[in-house]
Amino acid sequence: MGTLLFREATEADIEVLQSFRNDPDVNRFMVRTYVDPDDLRREWLAVPDSATDYSCVVERDGQVVAMGFLDIVDGSGQPGHPTGTDGVIGYIVHPEATGQGVGSGTARALLQAGFDGLGLRRVTAGANLDNVASVRVLEQAGMRRERHAVKALWHRELGWLDEVEYAMLDDEWLARAL
């Protein structure tokens, strides 16, 4: 697969990110479909100053092959619960780089960043049930399926789709790494 490098995006990355973010093979599986190119630039360039967004670009041999998403969010519960303890991950592999282990490597790196780097308590990820490759990536990363929501996600071409949600806790991450 080659070594993957995970880093913040810079202005020089924006064009390549724009080139595949709205690809039909990508949008088939995204909840948020079309992303306006100016919004994409603004959102990615704001990441270094954000306290909650740790999204990264994934580079292999000097080429951007994927984007990884890691957002710190609040858990749910009664007032007074700790905040900023949970994370949500996601990923998009460049359509020319799929099937080479990049998605799996990115998911593992995002979990490592969330648990070892940021000290999160719990990390979750969602996917369309029919996104076989993404479901495989999450299961290989050691995440547990916690929820299967029937006809829960609206897709503008496909209508209502089933969604699955996966999770991992910090102690599960530690037990897995031993």
Q: In this complex, which beta carbon is closest to ligand COA, that of residue 133 or of residue 174?
A: 133
- Is residue 33 near ligand COA by the rule CB under 6 A? no
CB-nearer residue toward ligand COA: 18 or 98: 98
Residue 73 identity (one-letter amino acid): V
Report the alpha-carbon distance of residue 24 to residue 28 in Å, rounded: 6
Q: Does 161 bind ligand COA (CB under 6 A)?
A: no
Is 137 a residue that touches ligand COA (CB under 6 A)?
yes
Check: CB of residue 173 under 8 Å from CB of residue 152: no
The minimum distance between CB 76 and ligand COA, in angstroms, equals 21
Nearest to ligand COA of 85, 100 (CB atom):
100
- Tell me which of 69, 72, 86, 131 binds ligand COA, using CB under 6 A: 131
What is the separation, in whole angstroms, between the first and last Cα of the chain?
24
Separation in Å, CA 103 to CA 36, 72, 160, 174:
24, 20, 25, 21
Q: How far is the CB of 130 from ligand COA (least distance, A)?
A: 10
If one asks whether residue 55 binds ligand COA (CB under 6 A), the answer comes out as no
The residue among 119, 157, 167, 143 whose CA lies nearest residue 30 is: 157
Binding mask 79-118 for ligand COA (x = CB under 6 A): -----------xxxx----xxxxxxx--------------
